[in-house]
Structure 1
């Protein structure tokens, strides 16, 4: 079985400027490439798990998201680390429009995206790591059975509700990945 480094996108891979869907607004977080290179050398698959309520709210399209994702994956490749896969939830249970107004199993804090990735890529979740900046990230990881959870301090309240390694920036995460 494989092990994976699961990464939230906004706030972990890139600076969370709110509803980022264009290259010019996508600012990589300092240390993200070095962290991913470290994890890849240790045999981790790199998998992005991201809620994208901007799609549900009509702020951008799934096509916009896919175009930005392809660009992001190319940038990672140019930094000598490859993203194995990207899972996204385009739904929102109360603010979604049309087909995107939906309470689903994929939107974090539900573990659907993680479980789908584990099945598709033969991942041992107990040997995997999840890095996020919100409690909903940690809740999804915990529900999926990921024990090694890393919460990066952000502008979102923590309330110490869940067990996780707490760090102030992504550069500190390598210490918890072995």
Structure 2
């Protein structure tokens, strides 16, 4: 590691699951015309951007392994999401995708991996590439796998009740905080950030 790299200041991030957290749940979503933000999400992301958090999407997309769509389709959808966010001066700093499935798929994709949530591999990869302080970061999602990945990466996990959140609530540890949607989760994150700045 170079001296410049060793002196690089790590940044805090909010990791976001995609389907059911950012956008309305659609089974194997890949077409832009089927994409719809959950109410208030673009503005919530803009608030995180404005105070300096990195916003990173980490998403399991086993539809690639199953042959329902290609990684290029996922990338095209994410480009569409960025364009929609630009309308409210918001953006995602990175999209990290697991295309694998441990049982189903084609070619090299039907395998177990360290990037499929609840494994923390996507978060570790993003942290290495974007210079993220994982212990100072949050993982927001609607499934137990999101909470597990965030916890294993050293982040603070936050469960939202959108998507599958209400269905999986009882499968998540009672100690994990719950919020109606990403909007309220961001309210909490920014309150925590304000309190940290006051006490620093």
Q: TM-score, normalised by structure 1?
A: 0.94
Match of 1:70 in 2: 79
Deviation at 1:119, TM superposition (A): 0.7
- 5 Å-filtered alignment, 1:37-116, equals 37-116=46-125
Match of 1:152 in 2: 160
Aligned residues: 177
Taking a change above 3 Å as real, the CA distance of residues 64 and 102 of structure 1, as seen in their structure-2 partners, is same
Corresponding position: 1:173 with 2:185:
yes
Cα distance in 1 for residues equivalent to 2:45 and 2:172: 27
Deviation at 1:159, TM superposition (A): 2.2
Which 5+ residue runs of structure 1 have no aligned equivalent? none
Match of 1:9 in 2: 18
Please point out which of 2, 19, 26 is paired with 2:28: 19
Cα distance in 2 for residues equivalent to 1:133 and 1:121: 24
Deviation at 1:41, TM superposition (A): 1.8
Cα distance in 1 for residues equivalent to 2:79 and 2:35: 13
Considering only aligned residues, what root-mean-square deviation do their CA atoms show, in Å? 1.3
Task: Write out the 4+ residue segments of structure 1 that deviate beyond 4 Å after TM superposition.
Answer: none
Corresponding position: 1:137 with 2:146:
yes
Q: TM-score, normalised by structure 2?
A: 0.84
Deviations 1:148-174 (A, max 9, x none): x21012434222533321012222112
